[in-house]
Chain A
Amino acid sequence: MLFETIRLALRSVRRNALRSFLTLLGIVIGVAAVIAMITIGSGTTEKVKQDIAKLGSNLLTVYSLRPMRGGDTNFTPRALNERDMEGLLDGLGDVRAISATSQQTSRVVYGANNLAAQVTGADTDFFIARDWDVVSGRTFTESEVRGGGNVCLVGQTVRTTFFGDGDPADAAIRVGRMSCRIIGVLEPKGTSGFGQDQDNVVVMPISTFQRRIAGDRDIGQILIAVNDGVSTAEVTEEVKAILRQTRRIAPDQEDNFDVRDMTQVADAMTSTTTVMTGMLGALAGVSLLVGGIGIMNIMLVSVTERTREIGIRLAIGAHEKHILVQFLVEATVLSLLGGLIGIVLGLSLAGLATATLSIPFVPSMSVILLAVGFSGLIGMVFGFFPALRGARLDPIDALRHE
């Protein structure tokens, strides 16, 4: 009986093809909007997560604080140095990597070409902490880091600018006023979540950086990679305790350094995009509601138009519930059909948008099921009133209807 009714409903949809299509359009647009918005939103969240993972997950960044202009600060500013680094190396328990790094933007020259690149002084642990490998060549040796060798690694942007597809191994580039020999090429990292080209880099031993680029013994940041499963918050506390000692901060003074926890940054950013996704989805949901009203409207027209048909059916023995189910099924079939087309359209739109924005395409099965379920529900809810109106018709009046 139900199968029969569905067949009947499909036939009625087909017979009024244009009208059905226009009615469907409301649902199609609604479902497509919801799916596209949520898929693009989830893609954005995923992209942020990936970007932060690129910076290194479980990564703590220690940096010194500078007094804020006009601010009332209760600390003595002082850069990080060798002693802080040693204190952490001795005092911290089991961590994956501790790396002293410094950065400065410098002009890098090779032959007739030059570009402004991020020049980073680093040690061997830097590549572990940042989870950054070479695609060719090698990273530094311990002796190169200690001895301040004139060697460097370049990022993909630097490599393509200077060498195109060629092999830059052993080429000498000028960084600021020093010359260094390229020993390796770093794997591409892409653009960071903050919009910075992470491949426009030259990495050299920190001792070389301090002597030849910065001209002092300061350390810019200390990166600490925490082992998987270890709480970054706990390690942060340990780091703070050690640094207060090595930096001889009096108990009544505030920290003149800070520890940034990447997982916290990641959480903050993903929660922002998640809220955004939800809001976009809810807005798109409103259009689904409008689509539902379209269904109700057309079902009312359909019931009026087919009053005589309802009369015939009632006269030859259809029960109220048969008529009710017939129109309900028709409305549901109509909106489900719209839902299915909407899914295809929404996913296509999302696929196009994610490809254009170069963010991951992450279709969610639950969102798709929800959209189908919701469009079916809309058909039933908005189809119910017109269906009931049809079912309650008096057969004699309905038969007289012209």
Chain B
Amino acid sequence: MKVANKIFNFSTFLMAIVPAVALISIFYFVFNESLPLWRFSGFSFFTTYLWDPGFQYQPPILVHGVLAPPGAQFGLDLFLLGTISTSLLAIIIAFPISFLITINVELYLPSRIKKFMISMIELFAGIPSVVYGLWGIVVLEPILFKNVEPWMARHLSFIPGFGGEVYSGAGLVASGIILSFMIIPIITSVIVNSFDSVPKEVKEGLFSLGATRWEVGKYLTTRFSRSSMVGGTLLGLGRALGETMAVLMVSGAIVNTLPTSFYSATNTMAAAITSLLDSALTDSTRMDLAALAALAVVLMGISLGVSLVGRKIAGRGALRGYESD
């Protein structure tokens, strides 16, 4: 029996380190795949926005000791800009909404339907991202294109970037809106959990001193939930940075064209990897693939960094209520 127990304990140990092995091997193999790109492009990968796989039907040339199709050039600026701008827009939309939802369910909503309402909001996270993409293409884009964006272009043109022509509904605005739907439940649940963890006596004490509900909310926010709000927002940001399919479907997925206004089509790192991988496979030098691997490395670095900091600030288990029960 002792031997059996030893074997059992060893197998639990092996399985406990599977996530670590998985993460390290993801990083190792993706980084390994990207190595030729770093030799080929060097720092210019970060300073140009052009993404050109080169002439694949001409014999490859040797650049800095690695083979690449002639004319190939890779830069991530356009995608990085798109990733950052869509995610920031998503946060700008999602944070106030999440905050007000929290205030509502914690202080104003009858407590009988509080749980139900939180479950409703959590459903936003359950909708598959392609379904968001579908809805974005068929419903949201026409509304933005016909009603919202022309109105904004007319009336807000005094703000730099808000003037200009509206080409289609696809782009930054549509991506930001859909991303905000995806992260509202994350931010909301982190803030709600932090409100819930405040000792009941604090709330009751404030009420008995004559505070209004908004004053209680303000007090709890500033005294107890500030770090959760920052952490939750960062967790949402981490999710938004890495989101792929919905953004791919509603961003316009452009390459080699910098956005000229708020309404321009855009592209993100995650969406670019997805949409460009198919054609990268035709590159016999694998340089195109290496470039996408480099994008993946940068994306993973940013997104893991943001999520880790968010988790650190919000505290482990911040998402407990949202992910388990």
Interaction A to B: no
Q: Which residues of A contact B (CB under 8 A)?
A: none
Q: Which residues of B contact A (CB under 8 A)?
A: none
